Amino acid sequence: MKKLNKKACLAIHGGSKSIRIRFAPYRSLGAEEVQAARKVVQSGQLSRYLGCWDPDFYGGPHVQSFERKWAKYFKVKHAIAVNSWTSGLVAALGAIGLEPGDEVIVSPWTMCASATAILHWNAIPVFADIDRETFCIDPKQVEKNITPYTKAILAVDIAGQSADMERLMPLAKKHKLKVICDTAQAPAAKIRGKYAGTLADIGGFSLNYHKHIHTGEGGVAVTNDDDLAEKMRLIRNHAEAVVKEKGTKSLVNMIGHNFRLGEIEAAIGIEQLKKLNKLVAGRQKIARQLDSGLGTLPGLQIPKIRDGCTHVYYVYGMQLDTFGLKVSREKIHAALVAEGVPALACGYQNLHLLPLYQEKIAYGSKGFPWSSDICRREVSYAKGICPVAEDLHDRSFLGLGICSHSFLERQVAEIIKAFHKVWKNMDSLR
């Protein structure tokens, strides 16, 4: 019997593991954040919000300073800090004046909050398919889904690259729709020199722990519209208790919440924002190394960037030609994981296929809002309505979470070596 060459043989088949080094978790926090948080604790003012019409309605000094600095960095008039970007989405959708039964077109290829924030206002999510190259919502599919009941488009800048705002904004203007940009995964990405998230009526960013920069939990909405900004601030902080004394005339969606970011998180956010350029540049450097090392592998498509755009690589999103390779993604994924490749994901969730939408059960047990009179047509969430997103999830997408670890250059080289080993032994997986 021929002796097994453990070094050449895939680890999944009993060979030696390619990568034996440990990958440290991605860490953007340092001594500066510790010192900033300590000062807030020592001050005794962990929050200074009041849920009534008062100068402190807008929060404490660190919150307001953080908002000013964020607005200056992203070159917008207003930045509104919230305790999560999920909260930010709820506030943004309320601010645009959603009525119960209004439809909002959204990508299925995103975190669930992008769509459940629509349901929060008893509006109806309508899922439009994504572009196969960028994984962002496809403007052509958006247009196909516009009805007389459509109120807004919620674009998602998934994985680190902006949606096609140069086509979405004129489309929205044509149909008199609002556009909200979920830029949770793409802080500092650019479209022809302008920041992703700032071209929409409202954009916003996530500050939770596995993003480029973070405050533990948190988010920031941005807008150049004075009215929308003030409505978001009201929804953030108990609007219904404030509108009378403030003199707010429109009561539409003035149901408030406690979406307030604390002073500690804001102080950390100020320090994190200072690092954003450097941290993004680090992710882009890793991506360039991966591009160079993986770009020649047959049957593997590395990330594509739209002309005039930059990518900040929250996820390094690849595609497998499983038909050409004659190997399933699951086998390739298992082989790469066995070799020690970290933070590697098959697919991404398709929201329209979640039980919530398949059963149309949200508020209570009777199918509200879909079963009520406010839902003015039958909206389908059947498998097949978003074939590109479904195919990517079921068969071809392979993502490397660049924001999961603090990858060193030599570690990226080890990952590339592991990919080449699997490709060299592809026959053994067939």
- Largest distance between two CA atoms of the chain: 87
Whether the ω angle into residue 369 lies within 30 degrees of 0, i.e. cis, is: yes
Q: What is the mean pLDDT of residues 395-408?
A: 97
pLDDT at 268 over 90: yes
pLDDT at 176 over 50: yes
pLDDT class of 220 with cuts at 50, 70, 90:
very high
Calculate the dihedral angle through the C-alpha atoms of 411, 414, 416, 420, rounding to the nearest 10 degrees: -170
CA distance 138 to 163: 8
Q: What is the mean pLDDT of residues 183-211?
A: 97
Decide: residue 242, CB within 10 A, 0-12 exposed, 13-18 middle, 19+ buried: buried
Decide: residue 403, CB within 10 A, 0-12 exposed, 13-18 middle, 19+ buried: buried
CA distance 173 to 416: 45
> Which two tokens mark 325?
């390779």
Dihedral-angle region of residue 127 (phi above 0 means left; psi in -120 to 50 means alpha; beta otherwise): beta
Residue that is written with structure tokens 């149909």 in the block = 175
**Residue 17: how many other CB atoms lie within 10 Å:** 13
Closest to 79 in 3D by CA, of 312, 280, 266? 266
* Backbone phi, psi, residue 105, to 5°: -85, 130
Domains along the sequence of the chain with CATH: 31-272 (3.40.640.10)
Strand 124-127 to 103-106 pairing: parallel
CA distance 145 to 104: 10
pLDDT at 8 over 90: no
Decide: residue 166, CB within 10 A, 0-12 exposed, 13-18 middle, 19+ buried: middle
| The pLDDT of residue 156 | 98
pLDDT class of 110 with cuts at 50, 70, 90:
very high
Q: What is the mean pLDDT of residues 67-75?
A: 98
At a CB cut-off of 8 Å and minimum separation 6, what does 190 contact?
162, 196, 309, 310
CA distance 196 to 183: 7
Q: What is the mean pLDDT of residues 307-321?
A: 98
> Which two tokens mark 298?
């047959």
What are 37-59's pLDDT values in tens digits? 999 999 999 999 999 999 999 99
pLDDT class of 67 with cuts at 50, 70, 90:
very high
Q: What is the mean pLDDT of residues 167-195?
A: 98
| The pLDDT of residue 1 | 44
Q: Where are the beta strands (DSSP E) in 304-366?
A: 316-320, 344-346
| The pLDDT of residue 4 | 63
| The pLDDT of residue 7 | 78
> What 3-state DSSP class applies to 40?
helix
The pTM of the full predicted model, rounded to 2 decimals, is 0.96
Q: Are 150 and 103 in contact (CB under 8 A)?
A: yes
pLDDT at 3 over 70: no
